[in-house]
Structure 1
Amino acid sequence: MKISIERGTLLKAVSQAQSVVERRNTIPILANVLIEAEGDTASFRATDLDIEVVDKAPAVVERAGATTVSAVTLHEIVRKLPDGALVKLSDDGASGRLTVEAGRSNFTLATLPKEDFPVMASAEYTSNFAAPAPVLRRLFDKSKFAISTEETRYYLNGVYMHVADGEGGKVLRCVATDGHRLARIDADLPPGAETMPGVIVPRKTVGEMRKLLDDDEAQIAVSVSETKVRFATPEITLTSKVIDGTFPDYARVIPVGNPRKMEVDANEFAKAVDRVATVSSERSRAVKLALDEDRLVLSVNAPDSGAAVEELPVAYGDEKLEIGFNAKYLLEIASQVDRENAVFMFNSSGDPTLMREGSDTSAVYVVMPMRV
C-alpha cells in the first residue's frame, strides 16, 4: 500500500478512529486502525467490538492495499505534523512496518496483519430512514445528560430511541433517565421510521455519533435493527450494538397534574443556583427553593461551610411552597433550555417536578426533589 493524503484530512479520519479504540485492552489488534486504500479513497476503520467506525477520506493511491497500525500513535504523529503537510503512508506488506513521511519527518511503525482485524457483522436492518443532523443533534444533546452511570442498571446506560405517540401524532422520541432526573425529547417522525424498533443507544455511541452531527446541512442515514444501530454520512459510518435490555415505563414517572406553575428566566436561574451552591457540601449539593407570590428565594445551609441566600423575580401565583433539589441536577436541566423562560410545574415538596421550555412541550424534563 502506498498513499498520499493531506494532513488535515488524515487527522480528522484518524481522530475519529482513535477515540473509538479502548486505551486498555487485552487484544492487541483492537488498538489498531485498519487502513484500506483503493481507487481514490482511503478508509480508516476502528472497533472496540461494540462500536465500529469507518471514515472514508480522499487520497492519492499509488498502490492499493491494506494494513493495521496503532490508532493512538498514528493520531499523535499526524497531530504534531505542520498544517497543510502532505503525508505519505506506505508499507511493502513484507516488513511488518508502515512508513509515515511528511516533509523532513519520517516514522516507521509496527503493523499487525489486516486479516486479524475484526469486522462487525452487518445486521439485517429492519428500518432505514434519513434525518437532518440538527434534528438528531437536538434529540441526543438534550437527553444525554440524564444517562445513568450505574453499571448495575445497565439498561439505563444509554438513550432510548423509539417511535411514540406525541400530541400531534407519531413522533421520534429520545428518553434518558438515571432515576433522579429524566429527559424526554420529541421530533417529527422522519419518513420510513414508522416501523423502527425501540433501541437503547449506549452512552459511548451517543458521544461518538455526536461528531457526525456538527454539519447543519448533513442528512444522516439511520438504520436500526433489534441488535444494532447505524448512523452514516457519505464520509463516516458508525455502527453500534444496542443495549440488550428493556427500558422502564418512563411515562409513569412523568407527572401530569402538577398545578403550581413557576416561570423564570432560565439563564438567571442557572446562575443563581450556581452561586448559592458554592457553599453547599459537595456530597449532597442541596439547594432549597422557597416560592411565594412572584418571588423565589434560593438558599443553601451547609453547617460545615456556611450559608447562602439569593432572591429572584419569577412569575408565580400559587400558594407558598418550599422544595429542595440537588443543585447539579437543576443546573444540568436549566442548561438545556434554548428559550428565555423555563417553566417549572410543582405538586408538593415530595413529588417529582416537571420542567419544560416556555410553551414548548416537545422537550420535557423531570427532576426528583430531595429533603433539605
Structure 2
Amino acid sequence: MQFQIARTDLQRQLQHVASAVPRGTPPMPVLSNLLAEVRAGQLHLTGSDTEVTMQGACGLRESSTDSSITIPAKKLLDIVRALPSTVDALEARLVDRDCLQIRAGTGRYTLATLPATEYPQRPVVGVATLLKLSDGLLSSLVHAVGYAVASADQRTYLNGMLIHVEGSTVTCVGTDGLRMAVARAALPRDVGPAKQVILARRGMNAMLTMLDGKDSPVDLAIGSRHLSMTKGEQCMVSGLIDGKYPDFARVLPTGMRHEVKLDRRVLLDAVKRATIMGSDVKDAVVFDFSGDILRLSASAKDKGDGSEELFVPDLRMTMRLGLNARYVTDALAALVEDTIYLRVNSPSESVVLSNGDGNDHVIMPMRL
C-alpha cells in the first residue's frame, strides 16, 4: 500500500468514520482500527463498533496497486489533526508488512497495523425501502423526537426511534413511556405499502453526526435488519431493534376539548424562570388557567417557590394541572415554531404540545 492524499480530505473522512470506533476496550482488538482500502484511485475508510458502521471515501493524488490494511483510528486522527496548517498533503506507505509509515511536512510517523482480513464483514442492508429526502428535513425530524427516546429501558423497543413510512409520508416517533414525540413530513414520492422499523439510539445519534440541516440530498435504505443513510461519499449503516413498538396513533389523544394558542419562546422562558427553585428532575410545574391568565408555578421543599403569569387572550377555560418541568422544556425546545398549541381535556389526561402541522409532543400529567 502506498498513496498520497490531501490532508483536508483525509481529516474530514477520518472524523466521520472514527466516530463509530468503540471507546474503551473494544470486543475485538481490530475494532480500535479503521479499515483502509485503496481502490481505483480512492481511499475507502470504514469504522465500526459492530452496531454502527461508518464509511467514507476520498480521492487520492497518487496511489499504488489496490490494497487494504487496518490502521489505529485514534492515533491516525490525532496525527492528522496536529499537523501544521502549512501541510497540504501527506504520504503513506506500508513497510515491514505490518507498519504504515506516514510522511507529512517535516514529520515522520510509523503506525502498527493489523491485517484487513481480521476486520469484521460490513453489514448489508439487502432488500430495502428507498427514501430520498433532504438533509434539512431528516435532521428536523430526528431532532424533533430524539429527546424522548428512552435510554437503557428494559423494554428494548423503547431504546430507539420509530421510523414509519407509508405512501408519501414519513413519521418519526420517540417515547420513554411517560412522554412521546411525533414528527411527520411529506416525501417527494410515494414509497408504497407501510414499513415500520426501530432505529437504535446509537444509530440515531450516528445519523445526527452526518446531518447539518442544509438542503443536500440524503438517501435512506430501510431493510429488515439494517438501515443505511448515504450522503455524498459518506455512509452510515446501523442495526435495527427487533421488537413491536407501541401504536403511536392510538396513544395520541384525539378530540381535545381545549386548545390554547401560545408564544413558544415566551412560554419556555416563563417555565424556566418559574422552576428555578426546583432541583429534582421530577419536579412539577403547575399550569393554572383562569380567566385570561396562565399562571405557572413551582416549589421545592425547604428551598422556596416561584411563579410567572402570562396573559392569554380568549383563554376561556379554568383548569389546574401539573407536568414534569423537564418534559415541558424538552418539548418546547424541540418545537421550533414561534406559535404553538397546548391541547388538553382534563387534569388527569395527557397534554399535547403541538405546532399544528404534524409535530406533536404528548406529556403524561403529574398528580398534584
Task: Report TM bin, short chain.
Answer: over 0.9
- Contact 2:168-2:191 at 8 Å conserved across structures: no
Structure 2 residue aligned with 1:122? 124
CA contact (8 A) 2:20 2:49 kept: yes
> What does the per-residue CA deviation read over 1:100-138, in whole Å, with 9 as the maximum and x for residues that have no partner?
222122221111111111122423223223112222112
Does structure 2 retain, via aligned residues, the 8 Å contact 1:293–1:317?
A: yes
Hey, what does 1:54 align to over in structure 2?
55
Alignment partner of 1:366 is 2:362:
yes
Corresponding residue for residue 34 of structure 2 = 33
Please say if residues 38 and 61 of structure 1, whose CA atoms lie closer than 8 Å, have aligned partners that are also in contact: no
Report the residue type matching 2:231 in the other structure: T
Q: Amino acid of the residue matched to residue 135 of structure 1?
A: L
Q: 2:224 is matched by which residue type in structure 1?
A: E
Q: Is the 8 A contact 1:262 1:315 kept in 2?
A: no
Runs of 4+ in 1 over 6 A off after TM superposition: none
Stretches of structure 1 that go unaligned for 5 or more consecutive residues are none
Alignment partners' CA distance in 2, 1:192 and 1:12:
34
* 1:274-353 paired onto structure 2 within 5 Å: 274-353=272-351
Contact 2:168 2:189 in 1 (8 A): no
The letter of the residue matching 1:108 is T
Q: Residue 244 of structure 1 is aligned with which of 236, 242, 251?
A: 242
The CA RMSD measured in Å over matched residues stands at 1.8
Give 1:19's aligned residue.
19
Query: Shift in Å at residue 307 of structure 1?
Result: 0.8
> What is the 5 A alignment of 1:1-12?
1-12=1-12
SS in 1 for 2:23: coil
> Number of aligned pairs?
366
Deviation at 1:163, TM superposition (A): 2.2
Deviations 1:130-169 (A, max 9, x none): 11222211211111111011331110111111125xxxx7
Task: Give the drift of 1:87.
Answer: 3.8
Q: 1:156 to 1:37 in 2, by over 3 A?
A: same
User: C-alpha separation between the residues in 2 aligned to 1:93 and 1:194?
Assistant: 53
Q: Which deviates further from its counterpart, 191-200 or 99-108?
A: 191-200
Provide structure 2 residue ranges, at least 5 long, that are not aligned to the other structure.
none
Correspondence 1:107-256 to 2 at 5 A? 107-164=109-166, 170-191=168-189, 193-195=191-193, 197-214=195-212, 216-256=214-254
- TM-score where L is the length of structure 1: 0.93
How far apart, in 2, do the equivalents of 1:101 and 1:278 lie?
55
Asked if the contact 1:3/1:59 (under 8 Å) is kept, the reply is: yes
Kindly indicate whether the alpha-carbon contact (under 8 Å) linking 2:20 and 2:54 is maintained by their aligned counterparts in 1: yes
Whether contact under 8 Å (2:125, 2:222) holds in the other structure is: no
Whole-Å Cα distance in 2 between the matches of residues 215 and 287 of structure 1?
32
Asked if 2 retains the 8 angstrom alpha-carbon contact of 1:34 and 1:44, the reply is yes
| SS at 1:365 equivalent | strand
**Is the partner of 1:198 in helix, strand or coil?**
strand
TM superposition shift of 1:82: 2.3
Q: Normalising by structure 2, what TM-score? A: 0.94
1:177-231 Cα distance to aligned partner (Å, 9 max, x none): 1111111111113425224621111111111112333262321121111111111
CA distance in 2, matches of 1:294, 1:277: 22
